[in-house]
Structure 1
Amino acid sequence: MIQRFIELGEGYGDIYELCELARVNKDRIHQAFIFSSTKDNIRYFSIAIALKPVNTANFFPIYICREGIVETQQESKRLTTFKEALAELSIEPIKVDIKHSSIYVDVNLYYQYIIGILRLNHLIPPLQ
């Protein structure tokens, strides 16, 4: 099974797009994630949804808005919007602490790192 991240942007429009993807594909959602990382003592959040493969397709997409949400004293409107969309669908996102993407030379290595963490914790299916 091919497990691949599909990166959306980090703006409001991208967050709304991710939320709409979740609503339209509510029967396909395997899991939703809120990833948190730290860089220069600032906490960043990434949000993602993993979708089950379609029919016999061997493709397991994980849509992500990477590190576009910065922690502030009040919860970000972007994070709130994502949580509200998931609450409509009765889905509780899993929170995972990870390293910041700036540590990696290539974004593909970063995504391989996250896929490894998700597989080790049985949050996504193993390779077949």
Structure 2
Amino acid sequence: MLINEQFIKLGHGYGDIYELFELMKTNEKRIHHAFLLLTEHEGKAVCSFAVAFKPAGGSQFMPIYICLEGIPYDVENPSKRLTLFEQNCEACNVTPIQVAIKHSSHFEEYELYYQYVTGILRMNHLLPPLQ
């Protein structure tokens, strides 16, 4: 079975995180993995939240919803948004997987960035293999 995964950008992690949380709650049984994508930009640690869902019904489409790089990342003093993401993951019985990646500003366009992230996730067996 060939899975067609696609990133769907919800925003930059401000109010859009609540949409991501609602998607997680209403599709809890479809969650494949949740990701905490760690990166650095202008000397500051930031992260993205992403959640991959299993294809619906007989579909081959795997959506990966992402809140892109708007969340400060500090392990010792976590932001409210990071705490909420972790709490929502726990409520859905999923552990977010931390993955260190390059910042999207290293790429000419988002499509290239998403291909890069897809490759990292697939290489680490976090997405289904190509067939």
TM-score range, shorter chain: over 0.9
Q: Distance in 1 between matches of 2:58 and 2:13?
A: 33
Give the root-mean-square deviation of aligned CA atoms.
1.1
Give the aligned partner of residue 40 of structure 1.
42
CA contact (8 A) 2:9 2:68 kept: yes
Give the aligned partner of residue 7 of structure 1.
9
Q: Distance in 1 between matches of 2:86 and 2:11?
A: 18
CA contact (8 A) 2:36 2:98 kept: yes
Selected match of 1:120 from 120, 123, 128: 123
- List alignment gaps of at least 5 residues for structure 1: none
Q: Distance in 2 between matches of 1:93 and 1:11?
A: 16
1:11 is displaced (CA, Å) by: 4.3
CA contact (8 A) 2:13 2:69 kept: no
Give the aligned partner of residue 97 of structure 1.
100
1:71 is displaced (CA, Å) by: 2.7
- List alignment gaps of at least 5 residues for structure 2: none
1:5 is displaced (CA, Å) by: 0.1
CA contact (8 A) 2:13 2:48 kept: no
Give the aligned partner of residue 111 of structure 2.
108
Question: Which amino acid is 2:107 matched to?
Answer: Y
Q: Distance in 2 between matches of 1:75 and 1:12?
A: 15
Percent identity, aligned pairs only, is 50
Q: Could you tell me the TM-score, scaled by structure 1's length? A: 0.95
Moved more, 10-19 or 25-34: 10-19
> Which secondary structure does the structure 1 equivalent of 2:29 belong to?
coil
Give the aligned partner of residue 59 of structure 1.
61
Q: Distance in 2 between matches of 1:88 and 1:11?
A: 19
Question: Which amino acid is 1:74 matched to?
Answer: N
Give the aligned partner of residue 81 of structure 2.
78
